[in-house]
Amino acid sequence: MALPPPDPQFVLRGTSAAVHTLHFSCGGQEPDFPILFSGQSGFVHVWNLKTRRVETALDGHGRKSVYWVETMGAKDRLLSQGRDQRICLWDLAEGRTSVTDSVFTENVGFCRCSLLKVAQERWLMAMATKALEEVQVLELPSKTSVCTLKPEVGAKLGMPMCLKLWQLDTGSQPWLVAGYEDGSVILWNLSMGKVWSQLVCHQEPVMSLDFDSEKAKGISGSSEKVLSIWSLNEQQNLQVYKTHELINSGISDITIRSDKKILATAGWDHRIRIFGWKKMKPLAVLDYHTATVHCVAFSDHRNPSERLLAAGSKDHRISVWSIYAQT
């Protein structure tokens, strides 16, 4: 007899706008408090998860929507990407809230950037640029361009919709998996700056994807009813592994937990679905929100039993769940 799905552990209110992106930063040493960053219209809110209140509100994008936040290393350095075509780097140490640097992407799309740490104090960030189909990879904090990934002429991929930089282990060559508007997923080889493999996964634009570099398997969701799971074979070519039918169409975000055991999808049908990553076994359907869920994020707590899942939705709420934290 299966248990009914759990209720959220707590729900954060007070954003007064649809929540577009979430990022946890809980791995710090005590006496730091765990933090959740949420991006919505105009502000990035820094939530204190112990008091469950907003600590600070960062206003750096001129009241335009923020649709990506990620920390660079420690939680006092934050990147945020907004609809004002800028990516801002914030310095949040010791109570400051100032933008120390920014990158002007000139991109009017919605493609979230991807950040990868390649060495101590060196990051790679992939972002969509002004040209419609291009992805540019920058090295941070120097902001030098590593390469520009241009699909060949006539490929008709459309805009890049989602990006994921990965490398097999620190020091090996980085790769980029990108999902495009025409439904295909492309594996880019960054050292050569060329397409390594391409796979058409969906009929509709790829809304979100995530990749597990250990198992060389990734998952992508789009606006249709199918989740597509693909893998890399020995020659690093993409091939379809399996597909999973959903009950309602539309996925806005997918994320795999850091222990690679479960993954969460944020759906347009207001529900968060949890699957087992190994075999895509459906595990739970979390039904709390009353509007489409825009983003899901897993926390990076060091202590496994404290791990959380957060989901931000158009109904201005962020629900935080504790699910499958014992394993």
Partner 1 sequence: CSLPGGSDCSVSFVSQVVGKVCVHGGQKDILGVLVPQLTELTQSDCIWQRICWRLVESVPDRWMEAVLLGFVQSAPGADALSRLLGNLVVKNKKAQFVMTQKLLLLQYGYTTAVLQNVLGYLSLDNLRRALLIKVLQELLETWGSSSAVRHSPVEQQLYISKAILICLSHLKEPEIESCRQELLTNMMAGVKCHLDSSLPQIRRLGMIVAESVSVKINTDGPVLKFQYEEDNETQELKSLLVQAPQHCVVPSLADNRNERAEAALPGELEAAEKPQTATQVVPEEESDTELDSDDDLVPYDMSEDKEIKSTKAPVYIRDCIEVLTGSDDVHKWDATIKALEGLIRKNPAATREVSVELAKILLHVEEKSCIEGFAVLRQKAQVAVLTTDPIPVAQYLTSQFYSLNYSLRQRMDILDVLVLAAQEMSSPKFYGKNKPSNAQKPCIQLLPESNSSKDWRKIVDERIKSKTRRFAKGRSQAETDAGPNKFNSVAGHFFFPLIQNFDRPLSTFDLLGEDHFVLGRLVHTLAILMYLAASAMVVTTMGKALLEFVWALRFHTDAYVRQGLLSCISSILLSVPAAHLLEDVAEALVETQCWLADVVEKDPDGDCRRLALQNLLLMENLKKKLETAPS
Smallest distance, partner 1 to C-beta of residue 80, A: 32
- Residue 201 beta carbon to partner 1: minimum distance, rounded to whole angstroms: 20
Closer to partner 1 by CB, 64 or 225: give it. 225
Residue 268 C-beta: closest distance to partner 1, Å = 9
The contacts of residue 145 (CB under 8 Å, 6+ apart) are 136, 137, 138, 139
* Nearest distance from C-beta of residue 177 to partner 1, angstroms: 23
Closest separation in Å from C-beta 3 to partner 1: 6
Number of other residues whose CB lies within 10 A of the CB of residue 305: 9
Question: What span, in angstroms and rounded, lies between the C-alpha atoms of 241 and 42?
Answer: 40
Is the CB of 2 or the CB of 153 nearer to partner 1?
Answer: 2
Q: How is 122-191 classified by DSSP, letter by letter?
A: EEEEEEE-SSTT-EEEEEETTTEEEEEE-PPTT----SEEEEEEEESSTTS-EEEEEEETTSEEEEEETT
- Phi, psi of 306, rounded to the nearest 5 degrees: -95, 5
CB of 149 to partner 1, least distance (A): 34
Of 139 and 269, which CB lies nearer to partner 1 in the complex structure? 269
The site for partner 1 (CB under 8 A) is made up of 2-7, 247-248, 261-262, 269-271, 276-279, 281-285, 287, 324, 327
- Closest CB to partner 1 among residues 144, 326: 326
Cα gap 317→319, rounded to integer Å: 6
Judged by beta carbon, residue 186 or residue 251, the one nearer partner 1 is 251
End-to-end CA distance of the chain: 20
